[in-house]
Amino acid sequence: MIRSLYVRVTAVFLAAVTLSLIPSFYLATSLYGDHIQNVIAQSMIDSGKKVIQSYEASPPDNRDTLMKGVTALPSMTILLFGQDGKLLHGGDSQAAKRLHLGDEELQAVLSGSVYRGEGHERPVTVGLPFQIDGERYALFLAPEIKNMLGTVGDYLQIGFLLALLFGSLFILLAARYIVRPLQLLTRATRKMAKGDFSIRLASKRKDEIGQLTQSFNQMANELGDLEAIRRQFVSDVSHEIQSPLTSIKGFTHALLHKKMDEAARRRLLGIIEEESNRLSRLSEDLLQLASLEYEHLRLNVETFLLDKQLRHVVVALEPQWASKELEMELEADQTTMRGDRDKLNQLWVNLLGNAVKFTPEGGRIRIAVRCDEQNVRVTIADSGPGISEHEQEHIFKPFYKVDKSRDRAVGGNGIGLSIVKRIVDLHRGDIQVLSRVGEGTNVTVTLPLDPPEQNF
């Protein structure tokens, strides 16, 4: 339970409050102790002056009654001494000892000095001299604050405990408000770990917790899309593997157990070879994608002519586009660049192969190369069926196919464009697709002419 963030937030708050109140109490006592004593002493002096005035103004016969009433006040101790040092009013013989008054202090006040005594072990005490008919008197006053301070201390302790109690309740509620979104995220993460990518969290918060929730929802959406693509890929690859394997198995069985002439035998062997090549291409594409995803892959950078490489690719693919009677146009001046020649060759083969594959018979494909001081842009435009806006966001994801039924007819496994995107990224380049359904597709690849060596 102690590992819970909820418990930790609450414990930290309570510890911070408690640890801050303790030094605050002692600091306040230290800073304001002297001031409080000065205020009390001045209050005693003012009260003493009023008692003296009343005593002087009273007839001699009423002075005893007056002093009995004054000394009976519960809020302070009042002692009146005569000229001979004898206690006239204000308690018993132990009263002076409780105020720590000795002969020295008493004689000083009777001599006309004002006395003020204070300390850790004695209450604030003031002594005031006065005379009546030439006879000297000493009036001592001390507040009875010990009990009062004890009561105030008790109330302060109760107030502190109540503040701590209500503060704890409030922090329990506040901590739950802070921690609850994290608890929901934890539960959602556990569900996602079990394969449930449909879970979404609602949050109107704009703080870091709200941003974390939005990032979680975005991650869940991306993982859900990737999982759907993965499942579709597994289904497609299983079919593509199973189909040629079934053909190979069937035709091999026929060759082994049926008598046939040489022409029929060669025809079946040709089919077996074609299906084997399909399996080989699928295996090579998967291995190539895996190798390109390797984090520490280093490119074999060299200087070469890009326009010459593009012409070789066009010539290599001539059987494919010529059989569909496509119009092929290449517009490229001599262009020298640095990069991995073999991987860039695979990039152009994949892009141009896609354009040939999806362009209908009699269509047109145009390749244009443009350069500036730092970059080269290669645009491959076809007159094919185009790609919808929604699908353009996914075409570079592994295993994604734009049109499953159409792709099955023309071949392909949905890996080629993922390989293209990875090669572009490795060269610190960029690839953009501009397409509308029914209006063809333009793919533009931007690559640095001379990228820094540390990029590789």
CATH number of the domain encompassing residue 110? 3.30.450
Strand blocks (E) in 189-306: 301-305
Q: How far is CA 187 from the centre of its chain?
A: 18
Residue 77 phi/psi, 5° resolution? -100, 125
CATH number at residue 431: 3.30.565.10
pLDDT for the residue 405: 44
Residue 348 phi/psi, 5° resolution? -70, -35
Q: How far is CA 321 from CA 274, 332, 348, 352, 363, in A?
A: 20, 19, 15, 10, 10
DSSP label at residue 450: S
Same domain, 360 and 278: no
- Domain assignment of residue 183, yes or no: no
Same domain, 247 and 366: no
Q: Which residues pair with 377 in a beta bridge?
A: 370, 446
Same domain, 255 and 303: no
With 0-12 / 13-18 / 19 or more C-beta atoms within 10 angstroms meaning exposed / middle / buried, residue 175 is buried
- Domain assignment of residue 192, yes or no: no
Please report where in the chains the tokens 């350069």 appear, as a residue.
371
pLDDT for the residue 247: 79
Same domain, 284 and 376: no
427 three-class SS: coil
pLDDT for the residue 288: 66
Query: End of a domain among 132, 148, 164?
Result: 148
Rg, C-alpha atoms of the chain: 49
Distance between CA 170 and CA 187 in Å, rounded? 25
Same domain, 215 and 364: no
pLDDT for the residue 307: 92
Same domain, 286 and 305: no
CATH number at residue 248: 1.10.287.130
Query: End of a domain among 101, 132, 148?
Result: 148
Domain ranges, residue 108: 5-148
pLDDT for the residue 275: 78
Same domain, 353 and 410: yes
Same domain, 247 and 330: no
pLDDT for the residue 296: 52
| Tens of pLDDT, residues 148-163 | 555 555 666 676 677 7
Same domain, 29 and 86: yes
With 0-12 / 13-18 / 19 or more C-beta atoms within 10 angstroms meaning exposed / middle / buried, residue 86 is exposed
pLDDT for the residue 286: 67
Domains held by the chain: number? 3
pLDDT for the residue 409: 44
Distance between CA 367 and CA 319 in Å, rounded? 18
Same domain, 48 and 139: yes
Residue 128 phi/psi, 5° resolution? -120, 130
Please report where in the chains the tokens 């002594």 appear, as a residue.
127
- Domain assignment of residue 421, yes or no: yes
pLDDT for the residue 145: 60
Length, in residues, of the chain: 456
Q: Which residues pair with 433 in a beta bridge?
A: 443
- Domain assignment of residue 28, yes or no: yes
- Domain assignment of residue 120, yes or no: yes
Same domain, 300 and 444: yes
Q: What is the dihedral of CA 397, 398, 399, 402, to 10 degrees?
A: 20
- Domain assignment of residue 199, yes or no: no
302 three-class SS: strand
Q: Other CB atoms closer than 10 Å to residue 38's CB: what's the count? A: 13
pLDDT for the residue 211: 82
- Domain assignment of residue 154, yes or no: no
- Domain assignment of residue 173, yes or no: no
pLDDT for the residue 453: 59
Same domain, 282 and 350: no
Query: End of a domain among 268, 291, 314?
Result: 291
What stretches in the chain show pLDDT beneath 50? 1-2, 295, 404-410, 454-456
